[in-house]
Amino acid sequence: SPEQVRAAAAAFRVYVSTGPRDAMGDYVVDHAVLTFLLDPEGLCRDCYGRGRTAEELARSVREHMENYEALPAE
């Protein structure tokens, strides 16, 4: 739902803005371009912008997977 999208954007501090509509009612959405790495608990472990290469991103994900430790059970 639109409310869930707004809540997710706020939770991850993602910038989103709807631009002005043109004569046909179309518009551009300005937004952050980020990929988030979440662990199995749903915690954000890393964030990748457009400046990262595929190799850098893959290396980072591998390192996070190799070093992952689950949170202690409550």
Set out the domains of the chain in order of their start, with CATH numbers.
Answer: 2-67 (3.40.30.10)
> Tokens 């952050």 appear where?
32
pLDDT value for 62: 97
Report yes or no: 71 and 41 within 8 Å, Cβ to Cβ. yes
Helix or strand run (H / E) with residue 2: helix 2-11
Asked whether residue 64 is marked as a ligand-binding residue, the answer is no
**How is residue 19 written in tokens?**
């631009």
Mean pLDDT of all residues belonging to the chain: 89
Check residues 41 and 15 and name the one with the higher pLDDT.
41
